[in-house]
Amino acid sequence: MTEIDANIDGLVPAWLTLPDIAEQFGVEVTRVRQLVKEGQLIAVRRGENRALHVPADFIQDDKVVKGLVGTLTLLKDDGFTDKEMLEWLFTPDESLPGTPAQALRENRGTEVKRRAQALAV
């Protein structure tokens, strides 16, 4: 869990709190916290009360977007911090097109992972 900065906050179009995600998944908030702890989701502190938030684009059809966990693992293995991962996932890439986060939501995870692997070189 990390503090959000204005640049990343501006890149991410929408956020969900952990209780919001728990309600969507039909689980306890502790289960969502576990997903964050395991690196399956990235949560940042933002807003007046500094509550934990997850980018809404990471959730689709009441579950974690397909391909996100593998992509986060690749980026973490490449030495990316949570902030750097969020910045990479939400920065538009004309060659995709769109952002890597959008590509994951559109089931184009193979291309996103290929690009994440190339960052290690």
Note the pLDDT tens digit of each residue in 40-64: 999 999 888 889 999 999 999 999 9
Give the pLDDT score at 26.
95
Those residues whose C-beta lies under 8 Å from the C-beta of residue 120, and which sit 6 or more positions away, are: 74, 77, 78
Give the pLDDT score at 8.
85
Q: Give the tens place of pLDDT for each residue, 88-115.
A: 999 999 888 999 999 999 999 999 999 9
Average pLDDT over residues 68-72: 96
Kindly tell me if the per-residue pLDDT of 1 is higher than 60: no
Query: How does residue 120 score in pLDDT terms, banded at 50, 70 and 90?
Result: confident
Kindly tell me if the per-residue pLDDT of 86 is higher than 80: yes
pTM, whole model, 2 decimals? 0.91
Extract long-range pairs of 87-94: CB within 8 Å, 24+ residues apart: 87/7, 87/8, 87/11, 88/116, 88/119, 89/55, 90/8, 90/11, 90/12, 90/55, 90/57, 91/11
Average pLDDT over residues 15-30: 96
Give the pLDDT score at 3.
61
